[in-house]
Amino acid sequence: MRAHEAGALHGDLGNRGPAWLRTPVDVNALVPQLWPRNVARAADGALAVAGLDVRELADGFGTPVYVLDEDDLRARCREFRAAFADADVYYAGKAFLCRAVVRMIAEEGMHLDVCTGGELAVALAAGIPPERIGFHGNNKSVAELGRALDAGVGRIILDSFDEIARLTALARERGVRPGVLIRVTVGVEAHTHEFIATAHEDQKFGFSLAGGAAIAAALRVLDEGVLDLRGLHSHIGSQIFDASGFEVSARRVLGLQAQIRDARGVELPELDLGGGFGIAYTTQDDPAAPHELAKRMRKIVEGECQAERLAVPHLSIEPGRAIVGPAVFTLYEVGTVKSVPLGTGIDGADGRRSYVSVDGGMSDNIRTALYDASYSATLASRASAAEPMLARVVGKHCESGDIVVKDEFLPADVQPGDLLAVPGTGAYCRSMASNYNHVPRPPVVAVRDGRARLIVRRETEEDLLALDVG
């Protein structure tokens, strides 16, 4: 998370707008880095995406609705592929997965990461070649591993000694030799510009490097010879803005690579450096372009390989958020607007804040409530000449933490029936959506060249009742 999320805004779910928001902006302006590339205000002031008016989208599909700018997503795939030209780029499906998106990323030459049987089922149903699938997870079941072997997934990322035993037995039974990576816990937790280099061994993923489990796992797999150990894997965290975490992690993991060579005379041919590349949620975020990241990461890996006298392994990365996050915005309809006093000495706009309630909330975007994440919003169905007012966009759920956008300046004439758009909601919003309060989950609509296509339909109350069999 960005410094302002972790620090300045922490505990700021109370009264005052954060310092960076205290200067009102042009409420009609769209900051380009926050929006999919084909979103703009039309001549009459309403937002349009790839030539389609958001009011038509709302009429046709209802609200809330996740709107995907398909060309934007495809362009992000191509940017990553061009930047990491000699690497495999796995799209991390946990960010958002459905068959249409699997087909899009596959057409753009991407690989795909899945981490459960459910994600694997979607991937296979979409027809991506199984050898382009990587299978993650700290507790894959026997059934899930068996399905992965039967489907012929390209890489299984090993996460525990139990799993090594489980997969070895299953592979022996089937007489197959699956390609595997060892997930290494490198002891680096990346926080944007900082990282804390110790104490983060204390988590559930991977084999500890410092504790010796990682080398033991690699040697066990090599010595047993049943699984085809292709390389090492590390993933240091999410919403990372600085390559220094990758630097430490690459150094440590390549150090392990050298230890394995020294112990068994084997140079593992692959290295997966995981995902976690940050995106802009507000104007405070300034992510690096993929080609800059690629340049730095390649330099780090080449330097370390030279130091360890290793051949440079074939690289993989696993971006999820950076592919789909910025390609989507959520369109909501405003239901109520309530102005509340902020109390004495509080410097919101004229001492008041407006609570703008929309027809979704924490069921379609849990990230604000769960991670204290920051988002922005704009009036989407029209432009407005009204003064800016300090607003908080909230949902319709029965709890006060049901906040979508903590602080935003919206025009003071926002009213019921207006459409609001929240950008940057492609990653970890629909995929983490819930049915809290029996609110059906919104649909996903892909827009391209002026045409809208439903790719995930809206859940209905009948869907919810269908599970209720008592």
Residue type, 229: L
Q: How many CB atoms lie within 10 A of CB 101?
A: 27
Burial class from Cβ neighbours inside 10 Å (0-12, 13-18, 19+) for residue 380 reads buried
Rounded distance between C-alpha atoms, residue 250 and residue 300, angstroms? 7
Contact 383, 48 (CB under 8 A): no
User: Taking the mean position of all CA atoms in its chain, how far away is CA 416?
Assistant: 31
CB of 30 to ligand LLP, least distance (A): 23
Choice between 27 and 250, CB closer to ligand LLP: 250
Contact 460, 440 (CB under 8 A): yes
Residues 6+ apart with CB under 8 A from 347: 16, 17, 22
What sign has the CA pseudo-torsion 200, 204, 205, 209? positive
Choice between 114 and 383, CB closer to ligand LLP: 114
Residues 6+ apart with CB under 8 A from 164: 158, 217, 220, 221, 227
Q: Out of 111, 321, 397, 448, which residue is the one contacting ligand LLP (CB under 6 A)?
A: 321
Q: Is 274 in the site for ligand LLP (CB under 6 A)?
A: yes
Q: Is 318 in the site for ligand LLP (CB under 6 A)?
A: yes
CB of 32 to ligand LLP, least distance (A): 21
Contact 266, 304 (CB under 8 A): no
| x-marked contacts with ligand LLP along 231-250 as a string, rule CB under 6 A | ----x--x------------
Q: Is 136 in the site for ligand LLP (CB under 6 A)?
A: yes
Stretch that binds ligand LLP, among 4-12, 76-84, 90-98, 336-344 (CB under 6 A): 90-98
Stretch that binds ligand LLP, among 99-107, 125-133, 173-181, 268-276 (CB under 6 A): 268-276
Q: Is 133 in the site for ligand LLP (CB under 6 A)?
A: no
Q: How far is CA 236 from CA 318, 323, 368, 374, in A?
A: 11, 18, 22, 22
Stretch that binds ligand LLP, among 96-104, 168-176, 315-323, 441-449 (CB under 6 A): 315-323
Burial class from Cβ neighbours inside 10 Å (0-12, 13-18, 19+) for residue 119 reads buried
The torsion angles phi and psi of 383, rounded to 5 degrees, stand at -90, 165
Q: Out of 277, 281, 329, 332, which residue is the one contacting ligand LLP (CB under 6 A)?
A: 277
Rounded distance between C-alpha atoms, residue 434 and residue 362, angstroms? 8
Q: Is 430 in the site for ligand LLP (CB under 6 A)?
A: no
Q: Which two tokens stand for residue 122?
A: 């979607």
Choice between 173 and 292, CB closer to ligand LLP: 292
Q: Is 375 in the site for ligand LLP (CB under 6 A)?
A: no
Q: Is 93 in the site for ligand LLP (CB under 6 A)?
A: no
Q: Is 409 in the site for ligand LLP (CB under 6 A)?
A: no
State yes or no: is 398 an active-site residue: yes
CB of 130 to ligand LLP, least distance (A): 19
Residues 6+ apart with CB under 8 A from 319: 80, 89, 90, 91, 92, 275, 276, 277
CB of 416 to ligand LLP, least distance (A): 30
How many residues contact ligand LLP, by CB under 6 A?
A: 20
Choice between 126 and 293, CB closer to ligand LLP: 293
Choice between 140 and 321, CB closer to ligand LLP: 321
Specify the length of the chain in residues: 470
Q: Is 367 in the site for ligand LLP (CB under 6 A)?
A: yes
Choice between 367 and 397, CB closer to ligand LLP: 367
Catalytic residue among 77, 98, 115, 398: 398
Choice between 113 and 333, CB closer to ligand LLP: 113
Active-site amino acid positions:
398
Query: Which residues in this chain contact ligand LLP in the complex, by CB under 6 A?
Result: 92, 94-95, 113, 136, 235, 238, 274-277, 318-322, 367, 371, 427-428
